[in-house]
Amino acid sequence: MDIPNIKALMQQKIAEIQSRLPVKMNIGPSDQTDFAKALNEATASNAALLEAALNSDTAAPVIDLDLLSGKSSVSSSTTKFPLVSGSYESIYTRLSQTQIQELMPRINGAIEASANQYGLDPKLIRAVIKEESGFQPFALSTSGAMGLMQLMPGTAEGLGVTDPYNIEQNILGGSTYLYYQLKEFDGNLELALAAYNAGPNAVKKYGGIPPYDQTQKYVKKVLNSYEMYKAMGDN
């Protein structure tokens, strides 16, 4: 292979790497590019974004009640939120178990505050978070669901969430949505969880848990986690 072809192949690989990074690598035209340095700079820039998201202030939510009952015209695919990463599985968004443990006092505090505000069992909120994101604050699904309680863009906007990667905002928003689904379905936990996952319109359409494999598994997993947390006796 001649030198021009090698250069072209390298540029192609650089483009592929950049397409998967949440920030761009500053790679110049030089043949002597230090790829390790460029990657480290990109990772450091992304770390700054993550820290800023963690430390952002919580805004008081303005709630779209029509959205909570499935009547809103807000599109779930419409987003005004900057995406921290392009994939839930990205190594640039997944925190280590040690990092998650360091954040647990803050996560638990947000769970307790939201539970008290809506009269929810904190163990239920915790079970939803466990199944939604595995306690990853920067989780981003392929469908665009964001944060600990995996809020879709349109849902987050309707809930008044301005930063879905902020721990307090996300948990308050998700708890608000869960509360209104419980209210919408007369306290039926299975239907409320199904609505949280598939939307209230789907539950109403089928008159129960929709015949979606993912939703049916989701409801069972959350209920199992809920029972586990209740058996543990921790708040």
**DSSP state string for 6-47:** HHHHHHHHHHHHHHHSSS-----S-TT--HHHHHHHHHHHHH
pLDDT, tens digit (0-9, with 9 covering 90-100), for 196-222: 999 999 999 999 999 999 999 999 999
State residue 32's pLDDT score: 42
| DSSP summary character for residue 148 | T
pLDDT, tens digit (0-9, with 9 covering 90-100), for 164-200: 999 999 999 999 999 999 999 999 999 999 999 999 9
Query: Percent of the chain, pLDDT > 70?
Result: 60
Q: Quick one: how far is CA 199 from the chain centroid?
A: 16
Q: Is 91 exposed, middle or buried (0-12, 13-18, 19+ CB in 10 A)?
A: exposed
Phi/psi-derived region of residue 128, left when phi > 0, alpha when psi is between -120 and 50, beta in every other case: alpha
Q: Quick one: how far is CA 87 from the chain centroid?
A: 11
CB 123 within 8 A of CB 217: no
Residue linked to tokens 């690989």: 13
- pTM reported for the whole predicted model: 0.66
Residues annotated as part of the active site: 132
State residue 160's pLDDT score: 92
Say if residue 79's pLDDT is above 80: no
Assign 142 a pLDDT band (cuts: 50, 70, 90).
confident
Q: Is 111 exposed, middle or buried (0-12, 13-18, 19+ CB in 10 A)?
A: buried
Mean of pLDDT values over 35-63: 46
Say if residue 10's pLDDT is above 50: yes
Residue spans in the chain of domains classed CATH 1.10.530.10:
63-232
* Between residues 72 and 157, the one the model is more confident about: 157
Say if residue 13's pLDDT is above 80: no
* Cα–Cα distance measured from residue 93 to residue 19, given in angstroms and rounded to the nearest whole number: 15
- Look at domain 63-232 and name its CATH class: mainly alpha
Say if residue 61's pLDDT is above 60: no
CB 127 within 8 A of CB 225: yes
